[in-house]
A and B are shown apart, each in its own frame.
Chain A
Amino acid sequence: MLLALLLCYAGFTALCLSMPRHHDELLGRKPSARRGRGLKLFGWLMLGLSLWATVAANGWGLGLVDWFAVLMCSALALVLLMPYRPKLALVLAALSLLASPVAAWAQC
């Protein structure tokens, strides 16, 4: 479940950054159209991968339940963290990405 949590958090951060308003808030400028599309694609890819991670770990029944739980709680964490500690929110996303191969290795 840790791997899915890391992927979900990173994915939601990318999706958030793909929106011009939030990109501006967090990084101080609007994203280019290409960058926006890239972030969006990357975000959805991460969310998809996290679904694979939970289903691979626990099968479809429990995997789907795990996935929804991780999905909801990671998004909530990001949204509540962003306005108070924007830097930390981004750093955590980067750390999640860095740590996810380790978590994947631990899960397999």
Chain B
Amino acid sequence: MKEGFRQSMAWLHTWAGLVFGWLLFAIFLTGTLAYFKDETTHWMQPEIPLRPLNAEASLTLAQNYLQQRAPNASRWRIGLPSAREPGLSVSWQDTPASPGKRGKFTEKTLDAQTGAEVEPRESMGGEFFYRFHFQLQMPYPWGRWLATSAAMVMFIALITGIITHKKIFKDFFTFRPRKGQRTWLDGHNAVGVLVLPFHLMITYSSLVIFMAMVMPASILATYGNNLGAFYDEVFPETPLPERAGQPATLPPLAALMTRASEHWDGGHATRVTVTNPGDASASVQFSRASSDKITYEYGSDVTFNGVTGQLLGATADKPLPMAIAGSFYGLHIGRFAGPVLRGLYFLCGLAGTAMIGTGLVIWLGKRQLKHAKSSVMPFELRLVEVLNIVSMAGLVNAVAVFFWSNRLLPPSLDGRADWEVNAFFIAWGLSGVHALLRPGRKAWVEQLALAALLFGAVPLLNALTTSHHLGVSLAQGDLALAGFDLTCLGAGLFLTWAAWKMQRAGHSVRVKKTPRERARPIALEQGTN
């Protein structure tokens, strides 16, 4: 009975892992990249200069700028620079010409030290990976549903994987390279078991993040169709007074920010919203930076009267269940993490990606062994092989092409940010065509080699197309820019090694097994040498 249970769990692990593996690989890889979303954006918009942080000075610059450019706007919004986002962003909404209409919305980026306007190239930057990670470039809400379903399957695959793996502690430190199928399984187990706390946390928390979407029964039972009432109660907002129509002077925002920071016991503001600036009914709202603490809170604000400076309201502390949910949310997105912990998050994410990738390779490798003697691979195995190549090597190429298009597309191109995304998907699609046309192992080697070339040459491309090459970024201490270049170089070296291993493994199989390779278009996968 016990053996039967373990076998059925192994069956579930195998098939759930296969069907959702390709999608999960993409979700994990883009999610891992999203840990460095701001740094990626910084690299993709190098026009925004990195300045020493001084929130008060930056806020004063933004206030002066908006006072000159948009004194009569209905709302100002100021995004303060942080250690990860160097730009000072200002935006405003014009007072609508007639009531009930929306005023024109304008957004600008300023130099955080001089207040001068900066014109960065249009790009989604790291935000693309972040969005793709849970929306999968699909219309709302389908992408979220698909990503959450994949998370549920991931959770099942993790639990069944733990049950299936008999010798977790005995094989804890075991990794045996150069042993074909054995090595893949060892690797799958090592990255699975050693990084298990991360896998469990990340998968469970992803379900917590979308709990209102996935399990709405309790909300619907209490609030019925009036979902707005639920959100009003859960996330109460400080009511803001109507526009009075009498001019009044807005006090210096920097002084109010100091008071907001005191209210948070030294916390930092990330965004300042001024409603009806210059009016007698003006109000100023400070939103707290999510990097301040582990628990992620949607909307933690302090609001002041924008004339007298009187405190109008502040978000109350959350009740315990929401704090727990917020902790899972915060742990998942890791906004609180400093550079070192962020790097470790990145490594854990890569380990998760590797676990899914090795799992897919093992599934195919095991079944290919049975067909090693026949000349034609069954259709379903060929399908899995092509999907493996596209979902792994193809995606890696697409990411590299996304970065290349950022540097090569002309800055004046219409819809430039969209074209970067298009380049990503065109590259991914082409990798599918290539994988269909070429025999399996050759397709692997060629796509890995191309990805190695693309990634390895990123620092060179950066040096040729911008004035922010490694020599400059390292000398200026811009670690995000330098780290991006060096990580791409590292990825290039790793992919070179992978392509070389794949080529050599194929070669040794060929020499040993068959001198008539031409007659057998489908080379063996790993596992026989």
Contact = CB atoms under 8 A, between A and B. Distances in A.
Contacts of A19: 170, 173
Interface string A47-69: 00000000000000110011011
A103 interface: no
A104 B233 CA distance: 48
A72 B341 CA distance: 12
Contact of B331 (A65, A75, A80): A65
A1 interface: yes
Q: Which of A12, A62, A76 has the most CB of B within 10 A?
A: A76
Contact of B177 (A62, A68, A70, A83): A83
B198 A72 contact: yes
A82 B173 contact: yes
A58 to B, nearest CB: 10
A80 B175 contact: yes
B348 A73 contact: yes
B520 interface: no
Contacts of B340: 1
Nearest to A75: B194
Interface residues of A, number: 24
A94 interface: no
A68 B173 contact: no
A73 B191 CA distance: 10
Contact of A79 (B170, B190, B293, B348): B190
A18 to B, nearest CB: 10
Interface string B189-200: 011001101100
A72 B348 contact: yes
A79 B341 contact: no
A69 B173 contact: no
B449 to A, nearest CB: 23
A90 interface: no
Given A69-B198, A72-B198, A84-B177, 15 more contacts: A12-B173, A19-B170, A61-B293, A65-B341, A70-B344, A72-B194, A73-B348, A76-B190, A76-B191, A78-B173, A79-B174, A79-B175, A79-B194, A80-B190, A83-B177
Interface of B: 170, 172-177, 190-191, 194-195, 197-198, 293-294, 331, 336, 340-341, 344-345, 347-348, 351
Interface of A: 1, 12, 15-16, 19, 22, 61-62, 65-66, 68-73, 75-76, 78-80, 82-84
